[in-house]
Amino acid sequence: MKYMLPPLALFLLPVLALGDGAWMHEIVDDRGRVVSVEPRQSSTIAMRREMVSLVPYVSGTELLLYANVRYVFASHGGASTLPVGFPEMQGRVVDTHGGYGVEQRRVTPRATIDAFMADVSGRDLPVRVLPGTGNYARWFVFDVPFSSGETLLRNIYIAHPGSRTHASSVGNTLAYTAEYILHTGSQWAGPIGDGDIALWDGRAQQLRHFTDLVPSRRDDVAAALHVTSEPGFGRPAFLWDYGNGRLGDYVTPRMEPTSAVQSSSALSAGAVPHIGAMALDDDPDTAWIDGGAHGGVGEWLQVPVHRMGRLRGLTLRSGAGRDGTARIRRLRLTCYDLEGTALAPTAIESQTVDLADQPDSQRVDLPHPMGACHAVRLTIEALHGPAERHGTLAEIGFIE
């Protein structure tokens, strides 16, 4: 019996809408309880610098987005402690199915942020999650002690990238999108002095650079992520589920497994573990730390490099050397590729490099150029310390 594909199946998770923090005004009820918050204009605190790093990564089989946002503030009104909020837009999943001539539509609310952290100069700040109003589902609120000079604030969070799938009997597509909102930064005094928004998507990409910006909605940034398989090469973007010979009422998006950062393990640490994406956020104060039960040897970090040429070397910076960790002494680099119509990545070449026992950045040249690779896996073979310790990498750069 031949089964007919439904003429249309559409899943929509709106792109994650997250962005600049703002000074908050708390709304209280008649009992004095905070029931929601809303942004408020500041006349004394200016944002001098903003650096945003976005890194898609895989957790299990799910694609997530790691974000590291660093701000430099200047206070023109002396030292003060003020509540600052980071916005989360309303999220929902819309499932429309037009199979068998019956239109079905389900709308499911969902959070777009799974975890959130804030710190000032490396000191963690307690975070309160409060309801928002209008388009804002929630605000992550934390009290920032602004000094009379500069204040260094960092927000780290894990979010769901937006995804849109469209399938029919004649073709199918799958698209993931990352978005960063700048317009809420207009709540600070004056323009944002300068800023950069960067994305790792097969290579480091600068999505936006700006100076003296008073942001509006037209300055918000969106980027398509190149993390899906190409249907034209025998790797379908969807897997139709026939369920014991019967067509199911959904399709499963197919994400190419080598197209986002992933690791064998990550050490737990508060709201956000030491995930592999932290080695690609251009921040030496964050690091991938493996969470292997028996130490770091054999644990690995895999990075997509499918938008690069031949790999000739690496720049690496070890982590801070906290208790229980050790710098890596030897790494095995394995080049993965998708050949022909293969559904799984294939290891096509492997090389080993030795690293110096030093905290600052070092360059390591490969014995000979490797690739072009779709992804590179870095496997810990030895540590500068006991084998049962955890390996750590704060920053990784690739040299073509």
**CATH superfamily placement of domain 261-399:** Galactose-binding domain-like (2.60.120.260)
Which one-letter amino acid corresponds to residue 249? D
Burial class (CB in 10 A: 0-12, 13-18, 19+), 89: buried
| Residues 160 and 92: beta-carbon distance below 8 Å | no
As a whole-number percent, the residues of the chain with pLDDT over 70 amount to: 74
Q: What is the pTM of this model?
A: 0.84
Q: Identify the pLDDT of residue 9.
A: 26
Q: How far apart are CA 157 and CA 70, in angstroms?
A: 12
Radius of gyration of the CA atoms of the chain, in A: 23
Burial class (CB in 10 A: 0-12, 13-18, 19+), 335: buried
Q: Smallest Cα–Cα separation from 17: which of 161, 169, 165?
A: 161
Q: What value does the mean pLDDT take over residues 371-394?
A: 92
Nearby residues of 21 by Cβ (< 8 Å), 6 or more positions away? 71, 84, 85, 86, 87, 153, 155, 184, 185
Is a pLDDT exceeding 90 seen at residue 68? yes
Q: Which two tokens stand for residue 333?
A: 């680099």
- Phi/psi at 102 (5° precision): -115, 120
Spacing of C-alpha 365 from chain mean position: 28
Question: What ranges in the chain are assigned the alpha helix state H?
Answer: none
According to DSSP, residue 178 is labeled E
Residue count (the chain): 400
| Residues 304 and 374: beta-carbon distance below 8 Å | yes
Q: How far apart are CA 121 and CA 118, in angstroms?
A: 10
- C-alpha distance across the termini of the chain, in Å: 52
Q: What value does the mean pLDDT take over residues 276-295?
A: 94
Q: Identify the pLDDT of residue 242.
A: 44
According to DSSP, residue 191 is labeled -
User: Which residue spans of the chain are classified as CATH 2.60.40?
Assistant: 9-252
Q: Identify the pLDDT of residue 224.
A: 85
Out of 29-33, 121-125, 359-363, least confident range: 29-33
Q: Smallest Cα–Cα separation from 266: which of 246, 243, 286?
A: 286
pLDDT band at 286 (very low <50, low <70, confident <90, very high): very high
Q: What value does the mean pLDDT take over residues 62-88?
A: 88
pLDDT band at 334 (very low <50, low <70, confident <90, very high): very high
Give Cα separations from 286 to 17, 29, 83, 122, 202 (angstroms).
Answer: 24, 40, 25, 10, 20
Q: How far apart are CA 367 and CA 158, in angstroms?
A: 37
Out of 78-92, 192-206, 210-224, 377-391, least confident range: 78-92
pLDDT band at 17 (very low <50, low <70, confident <90, very high): very low
Q: What value does the mean pLDDT take over residues 340-355?
A: 80
Q: How far apart are CA 149 and CA 139, in angstroms?
A: 27
| Fold that domain 9-252 belongs to in CATH | Immunoglobulin-like (2.60.40)
pLDDT band at 236 (very low <50, low <70, confident <90, very high): very low
Average pLDDT, the chain: 79
According to DSSP, residue 228 is labeled B
Q: How far apart are CA 144 and CA 130, in angstroms?
A: 16
User: Which residue spans of the chain are classified as CATH 2.60.120.260?
Assistant: 261-399
